A and B are shown apart, each in its own frame.
Chain A
Amino acid sequence: MRQGRLVATGVMLAFCLFALWQSLLLSLTDRLGPGPGFFPFWLALIGAVLALALLFTTFREPIDPADAEVRILPHGPGARRWLAIVVLVAAAAVAMEIVGFRLAMLVFNAALVIALGERRWWLIALFAMAGSFGVHYVFTTWLDVLLPAGRIWS
């Protein structure tokens, strides 16, 4: 845990330093006073200082033995489910604009419920249809929300 916090704080520190650099590229003052880079600059500076302070105090903390058991990144069988969600959502996002919302979500629905443990094929099929074609109908026809139609179809 402590290691995880240190890494995270380090990332935040890096982020603040990056923001600091970027805001220096913008002008800090203009005719009326603060320019577009003014606030990001000071915020990034304060952020960097805070991150450093947090790094310092995290280091100084007494190590809690119970902490060592806590793993930050997903591990074990749960990791497979975790990964399934991330990968499938990403895949659906990419596929949506190519093959269209309905097809992409059809596959996504089926794949995800299976990956999460579902085995009753009839329920899977029903759910997959409802969650893709059904949902698409409701949103585009009744609610006027535009969903991707898919490049290959037009």
Chain B
Amino acid sequence: MILRRRTLLAASAATATAIASPAIAQNYPRRPVQLIVAFAAGGSTDVGARILAAAAEKDLGQPITVVNKGGAGGQIGFTEIARARPDGYTLGFINLPAVNTIVLDPERKAAFNMESFIPVVNQVLDPGLIWVKGDSPYKSLKDLVDAAKKEPGKIRACTTGILSDDHLAILMMQEAAKVEFRIVHFDSGTQQLAGVMGGHVDVAFDNVGSVVKRVESGEARGLAVTDVQRSKFLPNVPCTKELDYPTVISSSTRGVAAPKGTPADVIKVIETAFLKAINSADMKQKMDVAGLALKPMVGAEYAKYYADLQKQAQKYTEWALKMR
């Protein structure tokens, strides 16, 4: 509770000052800006980040270089961002709930906490997707749950990493449907794909953006989107809310953040430039093609989302840790 309030307070204070500040920095940016992505090149986060960087460059007036600092489930990259000089020349993409779960797991010994970042602009909200192979015997979420009830601990469900949003989604599903899956952790979306397609696991808890094209082509079958509404990319796939699992809401959120201490007027410049890029038609088109849902959030809205997610993540992370 205290954690949430403090985070909310800190985040909104930072953004409030940013909005209230009268003067926009006249001499920023004067040289190229670095954008750190905590995951490997070519992945969903990276693709979104590169599209955004290319678009925002024009509005910012300086080149934006994407730097991949992958590894340790994002921890390496996030640490870099938290430690960077808060002068506005090093920014980063933060992935929620990845940042949350790393902070919440005491064994990870994270060198940062929720206050280490100032969330500036959110870009993508990629809702979770439960999917199976196209020729799988499970034609609906109900089929899956029934099968899981009949054979507790036998149906193999995979994630893209320990304590990833996928992992949390499985735990939510287990709680809501009172079933038990056999959880298998892979290291990336790619391995997950190979795992399902090769028949080594039965169902994948993933995100819409990673698999949208395959669902469209029929290679994969989407059972449910873990959101309060259907995904516009997959209109035929029901959402968990309409399937009577309103508590199973999970997604991967990715946005731009600055290290704590970055001056408010600099933040304002960044926010304006990136927001403009996100709302541009070119950006929308490119993201649509990539299957990534845009959800721009700034200021107090983003700060609140940031804090709310922490609370939700806390509950399930503690549960996951107890299972060790």
Chain A contact residues, CB within 8 Å of chain B: 30-31, 144, 146
Contacts and interface: CB of A to CB of B under 8 A. Distances in A.
6 contacts: A30-B324, A31-B323, A31-B324, A144-B65, A146-B34, A146-B67
A115 B324 CA distance: 57
Nearest first, the 4 A-B pairs at minimum CB distance are: A30-B324, A144-B65, A31-B324, A31-B323
Contacts of A144: 65
A31 B180 CA distance: 15
Interface of B: 34, 65, 67, 323-324
Contacts of A146: 34, 67
B interface, by DSSP: helix, strand, loop or mixed?
A: strand
Contacts of A31: 323-324
A146 B67 CA distance: 10
A140 to B, nearest CB: 11
A30 B322 CA distance: 12
A30 to B, nearest CB: 6
A119 B34 CA distance: 43
Contacts of B324: 30-31
A30 B67 CA distance: 37
Nearest to A154: B85
B190 to A, nearest CB: 23
Contacts of B323: 31
A146 B34 CA distance: 10
A136 to B, nearest CB: 16
Nearest to B323: A31
A110 to B, nearest CB: 30
Nearest to A27: B324
A146 B80 CA distance: 14
Contacts of A30: 324
A124 to B, nearest CB: 33
Nearest to B85: A154
A153 to B, nearest CB: 13
A26 to B, nearest CB: 10
A31 B65 CA distance: 44
Nearest to B67: A146
A30 B324 CA distance: 7
Contacts of B34: 146
A153 B34 CA distance: 19
B43 to A, nearest CB: 19
Nearest to A144: B65
A15 B67 CA distance: 36
A144 B67 CA distance: 9
A43 to B, nearest CB: 21
